[in-house]
């Protein structure tokens, strides 16, 4: 994933996420406010209804009527005496007389206590369900507002992201173009120097001249390795690669021989324990893997040290006894442009490329390292999987 794309995603997640949480909280408060207003209105209507029934009871009482009826559509009505014994009711729910107004799920109950008892009625209980249709209308309104609000906020977020990333994208594009042009121009002089070195007559040179020539060879091969790394980083999406069965052992021996001048120059001893192993991979990518791990081991090893190269059916590993890598640096060692030791230089590209290739081929990278004790990089082969 490109860094710019990742930045946009992080920005969108944080921006939209925070606004969504805020909008959800505001929507919840609005919903509760509307619901409470609806309950308050219903409470007031129930009180009016209780007083209306009380007036009817007074009328029946004054007229000494022994028979009376009461029914109101949408309401449940119950009458109780001063001992909370039921006199008459349109529903059979248990009543909590310790509360004046309470809810049981979506059913609300009002208990009206009468100062004067008519027809032995002390308590009037009014039952009314909460109007869920109105609540659903409120939820629909909130949902509609939330949808249009989210679309608007998403548009604003994309616009802000584009505005903020525009100068960064221009800078990255300019830097990428420079890297591609510089990488392309590096190839010809490097190839010329390597060819001249290979065809040079070294028999008539003294030790000092041979040592100087070795330095040229080392520097040129270092540049050649950097050229391959930069080419992969810059042109990876444009180069056609082809996976074929490759003898890993053969390629490892070839790359050790290629780096022999640098190995001898530092007085290093490379011990190998190589078993036959064939994998399905583009050879150029395998060379990038091996070269980066070998060159790092050579670069960070102490003079006259040892490097152990192992190849088994399960893994390929390179171990050195160099400066090692701290636990903190190990967390970011595979990030691009991350170099753990400024004294030894480097652009921090190599291990990022190793990481990319390993992810592409489902190869697990293991790192064991302690400062001043050296490092071991291990690539654990996986079963061959088709790449998407």
pLDDT tens-digit readout, 55-67: 888 888 888 766 6
* 3-state SS, residue 110: strand
- Distance separating alpha carbons of residues 216 and 219, to the nearest angstrom: 5
Residue 82 tokens, joined: 């001063």
* Residues facing 378 on adjacent strands: 317, 366
Residue 152 tokens, joined: 């608007």
Count of beta carbons in the 10 Å neighbourhood of residue 138: 18
Do the Cβ atoms of 108 and 50 come closer than 8 Å? no
pLDDT above 50 for 255: yes
Tell me the longest C-alpha to C-alpha distance in the chain: 141
Compute the average pLDDT of residues 263-289: 91
Count of beta carbons in the 10 Å neighbourhood of residue 39: 15
Q: For residues 109 and 134, which has the higher predicted lDDT (pLDDT)?
A: 109
pLDDT above 60 for 167: yes
pLDDT at residue 337, as a whole number:
53
CB-hemisphere CA count at 13 Å for 118? 19
* Distant-in-sequence, close-in-space partners of 42: CB < 8 Å, separation ≥ 6: 108, 128, 130, 131
Compute the average pLDDT of residues 103-109: 90
Lowest mean pLDDT among 155-159, 160-164, 246-250: 160-164
How does the average pLDDT of the chain come out, rounded? 83
Tell me phi and psi for residue 202, to 5 degrees. -100, 0
Tell me the angle at which helices 3-62 and 132-198 cross, rounded to the nearest 10 degrees. 170
Q: What is the CA radius of gyration of the chain?
A: 41
CB-hemisphere CA count at 13 Å for 2? 11
Lowest mean pLDDT among 180-194, 212-226, 371-385: 180-194
pLDDT digits (tens, 9 = 90+) for 293-325: 998 898 888 888 999 999 999 999 999 988 888
Q: Quick one: what percent of the chain has pLDDT higher than 70?
A: 86
Count of beta carbons in the 10 Å neighbourhood of residue 307: 22
**pLDDT tier at 187, thresholds 50, 70, 90:** low
Tell me phi and psi for residue 341, to 5 degrees. -140, 105
Residue 369 tokens, joined: 């390292």
Q: For residues 5 and 302, which has the higher predicted lDDT (pLDDT)?
A: 302
DSSP letter assigned to residue 344? G
pLDDT at residue 14, as a whole number:
85
- Distance separating alpha carbons of residues 315 and 286, to the nearest angstrom: 13
pLDDT at residue 67, as a whole number:
66
pLDDT digits (tens, 9 = 90+) for 329-379: 887 787 765 555 543 444 457 788 889 889 989 999 999 988 888 899 999
Residue in this structure with the two tokens 């990319």, named with its chain if needed = 356
- Distance separating alpha carbons of residues 86 and 193, to the nearest angstrom: 110
Per-residue CA distances from 137 to 32, 44, 124 (Å):
13, 21, 32
pTM of the model: 0.50
- Distance separating alpha carbons of residues 290 and 82, to the nearest angstrom: 95
Specify the length of the chain in residues. 388
């Amino acid at each position: 994933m490109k860094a710019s794309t990742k930045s946009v995603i992080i920005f969108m997640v944080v921006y939209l996420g925070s606004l969504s949480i805020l909008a959800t909280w505001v929507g919840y408060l609005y919903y509760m406010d509307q619901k409470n207003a609806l309950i308050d209105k219903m409470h007031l209507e129930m009180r009016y209804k209780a007083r209306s029934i009380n007036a009817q009871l007074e009328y029946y009482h004054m007229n000494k009527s022994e028979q009376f009826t009461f029914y109101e559509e949408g309401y449940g009505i119950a009458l109780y005496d001063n001992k909370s014994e039921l006199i008459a009711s349109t529903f059979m729910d248990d009543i909590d007389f310790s509360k004046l107004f309470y809810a049981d799920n979506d059913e609300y109950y009002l208990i009206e206590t009468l100062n004067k008892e008519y027809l032995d009625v002390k308590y009037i209980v009014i039952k009314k369900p909460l109007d869920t249709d109105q609540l659903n209308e409120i939820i629909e309104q909130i949902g509609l507002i939330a949808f249009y609000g989210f679309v608007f906020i998403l548009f604003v977020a994309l616009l802000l992201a584009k505005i903020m990333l525009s100068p960064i994208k221009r800078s990255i594009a300019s830097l990428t173009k420079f890297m591609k042009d510089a990488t392309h121009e590096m190839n010809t002089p490097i190839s010329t120097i390597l060819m001249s070195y290979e065809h040079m007559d070294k028999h008539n040179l003294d030790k000092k001249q041979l040592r100087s020539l070795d330095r040229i060879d080392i520097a040129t091969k270092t540049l050649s390795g950097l050229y391959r790394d930069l080419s992969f980083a810059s042109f990876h999406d444009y180069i056609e690669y082809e996976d074929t069965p490759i003898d890993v052992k053969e390629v490892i021996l070839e790359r050790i021989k290629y780096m022999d001048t640098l190995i001898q120059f530092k007085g290093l001893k490379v011990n190998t324990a190589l078993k036959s192993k064939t994998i399905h991979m583009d050879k150029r990518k395998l060379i990038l893997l091996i070269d980066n791990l070998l060159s790092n081991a050579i670069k960070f090893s102490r003079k006259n040290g040892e490097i152990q190269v192992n190849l088994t059916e399960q893994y390929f590993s390179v171990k050195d006894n160099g400066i090692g890598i701290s636990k903190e640096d190990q967390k970011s060692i595979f990030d691009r442009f991350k170099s753990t030791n400024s004294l030894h230089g480097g652009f921090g590209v190599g291990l990022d490329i190793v990481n990319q290739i390993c992810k592409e081929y489902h190869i697990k990278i293991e790192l064991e390292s302690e400062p001043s004790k050296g490092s071991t990089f291990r690539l654990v082969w996986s079963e061959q999987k088709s790449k998407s």
